Amino acid sequence: MKQHSVREAWLEDAVKHLEPVFSRAGYAIPPVRVSCGFPASSSPRTTLGQCWPRQRSEGGVNEIFISPKIDDPVQLLDTLVHELCHAVDDCFSGHGEDFKGIAQTVGLEGPARMAHATEELIVKLMMISQELGPYPHKAIIFPPPRASNASRSKAKCGQCGYEVTLLKKWASYGAPICPKDHIRMLEDVPETIENTSDYDSESVGKGAKKAPDEIRRAIS
């Protein structure tokens, strides 16, 4: 079993181990760079993978990013296979028929945007993950807890119910006086609210027809 100390080294080695999966299906993986990183064109809360077309890279290669939310090797390889299908197509068809054909041939199933490994491919990915050894990364919990209006200190009049939000810098002065009943209002105990997250993956489309820097979104 190998031991990788750098995430990108593990990912590069993973691409080499996945080459037979694509070659048996009749496809060659083009030159790619794979990194651990959040996507640039959509919310990192909903995206697990992203592939950029070669024309968007100064190096002339497909750039693939795998979300740092993932640390399970098999899930990571599953996502990587999906993004490599986009690389084979150079993101030309998005999730159109050409992508579907590549994905199904290499062993992905389900709706194109969420195409994932079949049970047969999962077995292969498990074997590859054992050869690669541990993925040198621990998942980032995303999104982090985020304050909302409900988590801020508030003050409420005990008689009329008039309510205001107390800004942190003024909360130390205590609750204000109700403008209607002219009595000191009561502070409410704030609640903690966290964002929720779900899973998806994304590829960046090839030719944007509007502004040069506009990216066509394609959730996969």
Q: Which residue has the higher pLDDT, 118 or 174?
A: 118
Question: Which pLDDT value is given to residue 128?
Answer: 97
pLDDT band, residue 83 (cuts 50/70/90) = very high
pTM over 0.85: no
CA 107, chain centre distance (Å) = 22
Q: At the topology level of CATH, where does 7-141+198-219 sit? A: Zincin-like (3.30.2010)
Contact 202, 42 (CB under 8 A): yes
Question: Which pLDDT value is given to residue 57?
Answer: 93
The answer to whether the Cα torsion of 110, 112, 114, 120 is positive or negative is positive
Rounded Cα distance, 184 and 177, in Å: 4
What tens digit of pLDDT does each residue of 20-41 get? 999 999 999 999 999 999 888 6
Sorted by where each begins, the domain ranges of the chain are: 7-141+198-219, 153-188
What tens digit of pLDDT does each residue of 171-202 get? 778 889 989 889 998 887 554 433 333 334 55
Question: Which pLDDT value is given to residue 193?
Answer: 35
